[in-house]
Structure 1
């Protein structure tokens, strides 16, 4: 083998001498001959490199991509989609040009070294692009797993990619400046404060991504509300620096990842997983319409399906109580009596317990709130058995439609500002 190499060197030296002598005989100076020789070989090197890259990319890579698409596995398709093979083909031109540098610039040590360093930096850039594609392939494959939404790794992969880029930059600086890599790392401490300032958001985002993942605070597909950032919708993407939330009006809110750690937000995942969504709404009753039930009203309530058993049991209970304490029932304020508001509250309780879309296993309250200038708020605090937004709103609307319709049957009125006052207020504002 060594003999063949020696013979090749002898032949190349012979060719160089022959070309030089021929050009000298034609009247060219040595400087012009050197310039022509370098120019010609440089153009030749780039042409060969271009041809090699074309063959690698148009023939080898495309053949490999067609073969990959014919396979049954979907995983290798991600390699093609993320252009890993295409980016690998860019190594070919550098591999072709590198030996030409030694041949063309063998007598120019400084230029030879500089060009070798440039080629090395080119190699590093292509390798970084290949690493980027590889990490994206890993992300695509991981996204097909059922647990990917619960444990997203995109932030970690972006962090790893950032580390590789920093190493690549430092290595390139080391190569171009002819300084050992260890010395570059040592000098890095002097600019650490600048790097921390430049990459502040990235560092905070990386730490926040770890906390969000470890504590299972946010997943892809979660419904989150963050009023401080005008965000209310589903999480569609989580990266190292940002979390994208598609609001219900189809706009996109971009929230810094670390904001989910430093600020408060609501994650509605618990509501979805529980299978029930809270209905918490009150209606104000005019206090002037609250009174004791008359015998006519009691006879009327006995005909109501949801009240029949309650009225009979309650009347028996009140009768026993009043007799036990010898209550004079000629005065309405003596003893215990039914009120229209109490009967209405019991009606709503029974009505909602028989409602097909109200959960019986979760909190169930029909309660009075503190009376105020708008009357007595009667609050319904129950859970629907369907968490879908449109259906939930329909259930809630049907319940309060019914409440407003049946209130007059109990002799009750809803409190609202008189129309005259509203008109007068409108005139005053205008």
Structure 2
């Protein structure tokens, strides 16, 4: 219908120029320039009106709504691509029919506008994918922040399909025939784009299994990585180590190798403290009655029976559990137990382990909290007549030599 309309305008232009006295050799040229130029002008005017008046109006309209999704989906860049597509479609409907008297130019114009429509269509799909990604990222709890790799994969697929369609247009073949012909080159393409293909598959696995998100703290001992994930891309995962260095690692290496993700600690808002001190076995003994009388007046004694003999190490464990229970930063969720326990004796002594969780998950506050707890343990152990094992140093041997020089020389 549009072609017949443009042909009618073309014939009218020929008749008009003929009445104006234009030479017969220039009639078709002038009419073609007028109608084809008018088609190009209409396409430009449409783009101008859409970008100058319609798009700002749409942006103002969506800004009045409280919803977030329309602000993201109807963004200026996406709407400009829509305006480009509308203009190209209008020119495609007007310019080629105007070149009826020049078959070669008409075929070139038809081919050109088909390729332009495919290119603008792929551009529109990519802009829509970016807008959709931003919308999901802003409205999600964080998991879909790692969908960047999938978005990039879809963009690559869209561009690849566009390239295949353009090749089929130029070759005047069915796109399926072009795909079949590319099958012979699939092996070469897989070798060339091996990292990209493996990265795409690994990125999909990382995302769908929720193994990695931007902002996660991960450690990869095999690659000396210990830091925060900045970006999960199509072919690389970018991590900022705590020494502020940036490390990029292929996604497939995180799938094939083991890595530790500390997100569970952050989500639970509790970090484990698991430290032990070694008690000298020779210092373990029954508490004397005067010590029992001193301890029973303290709050931690609780319901302990003062009439039975108590081992100092047992009382020390009870004291430490009470001390831990009074810590302001102790995490006391049902799944986060705290206790003080004895491990199997070793040649160095009896390991006394403190097991608890703290609400301080940041590195520096956590280390300070952990150090304060151990400092308290070391400072209070002597009250119970216990000693912490420490291997003898050169200073200890020197003091022993000064105290017992003759006996030491005889022994040596």
TM tier relative to shorter chain: 0.7 to 0.9
Aligned pairs for 1:13-412 within 5 A:
13-15=14-16, 22=23, 49-81=43-75, 83-98=77-92, 99-104=94-99, 106-109=101-104, 111-146=105-140, 149=143, 153-219=147-213, 221-235=215-229, 237-245=231-239, 253-274=247-268, 276-286=270-280, 293-294=287-288, 297-298=291-292, 300-307=294-301, 310=304, 312=306, 314-315=308-309, 340-355=312-327, 357=330, 359=332, 361=334, 362=337, 364-368=339-343, 370-372=345-347, 376-384=350-358, 387=361, 389=363, 392-412=366-386
Rounded Cα–Cα distance in structure 1 between residues aligned with 2:221 and 2:255: 15
Aligned twin of 1:320 = none
Write the deviation string for residues 197-237 of structure 1: whole angstroms up to 9, x where unpaired: 34434433443344334434345554433334444445554
Rounded Cα–Cα distance in structure 1 between residues aligned with 2:167 and 2:306: 92
Once the two structures are TM-superposed, the CA of residue 372 in structure 1 deviates from its matched residue by 4.8
Indicate how the Cα distance of structure 1 residues 308 and 107 shifts in structure 2: closer, same or farther if over 3 A, else same.
Answer: closer
Once the two structures are TM-superposed, the CA of residue 86 in structure 1 deviates from its matched residue by 0.7
Indicate how the Cα distance of structure 1 residues 403 and 51 shifts in structure 2: closer, same or farther if over 3 A, else same.
Answer: same
Indicate how the Cα distance of structure 1 residues 313 and 267 shifts in structure 2: closer, same or farther if over 3 A, else same.
Answer: farther
Rounded Cα–Cα distance in structure 1 between residues aligned with 2:85 and 2:162: 16
Once the two structures are TM-superposed, the CA of residue 37 in structure 1 deviates from its matched residue by 9.1
Rounded Cα–Cα distance in structure 1 between residues aligned with 2:303 and 2:5: 111
Q: Return the TM-score normalized by structure 2.
A: 0.76
Rounded Cα–Cα distance in structure 1 between residues aligned with 2:369 and 2:6: 88
Indicate how the Cα distance of structure 1 residues 308 and 45 shifts in structure 2: closer, same or farther if over 3 A, else same.
Answer: closer
Write the deviation string for residues 217-262 of structure 1: whole angstroms up to 9, x where unpaired: 3455544333344444455544444444455566655443333321
Classify the secondary structure of the residue corresponding to 2:197: helix
Write the deviation string for residues 23-60 of structure 1: whole angstroms up to 9, x where unpaired: 97xxxxx9xx9999988988776666444433332233
Once the two structures are TM-superposed, the CA of residue 113 in structure 1 deviates from its matched residue by 2.0
Residue range with higher mean Cα deviation, 179-188 or 301-310? 301-310
Q: Is the 8 A contact 1:352 1:358 kept in 2?
A: no
Q: Return the TM-score normalized by structure 1.
A: 0.73
Residue range with higher mean Cα deviation, 263-272 or 380-389? 380-389
Once the two structures are TM-superposed, the CA of residue 123 in structure 1 deviates from its matched residue by 0.9
RMSD: 4.2
Q: Is the 8 A contact 1:272 1:387 kept in 2?
A: yes
Q: Is the 8 A contact 2:228 2:240 kept in 1?
A: yes
Indicate how the Cα distance of structure 1 residues 74 and 352 shifts in structure 2: closer, same or farther if over 3 A, else same.
Answer: closer
Residue range with higher mean Cα deviation, 406-415 or 285-294? 285-294
Rounded Cα–Cα distance in structure 1 between residues aligned with 2:147 and 2:184: 32
Write the deviation string for residues 383-422 of structure 1: whole angstroms up to 9, x where unpaired: 3355455554444233212112112323344426647489
Aligned twin of 1:334 = none
Rounded Cα–Cα distance in structure 1 between residues aligned with 2:12 and 2:197: 58
User: What stretches of structure 2 of length at least 5 have no aligned partner?
Assistant: 399-412
Classify the secondary structure of the residue corresponding to 1:345: helix
User: What stretches of structure 1 of length at least 5 have no aligned partner?
Assistant: 25-29, 316-337, 424-430
Once the two structures are TM-superposed, the CA of residue 165 in structure 1 deviates from its matched residue by 1.8
Classify the secondary structure of the residue corresponding to 1:224: strand
Once the two structures are TM-superposed, the CA of residue 118 in structure 1 deviates from its matched residue by 2.0
Once the two structures are TM-superposed, the CA of residue 191 in structure 1 deviates from its matched residue by 1.2
Aligned twin of 1:10 = 11
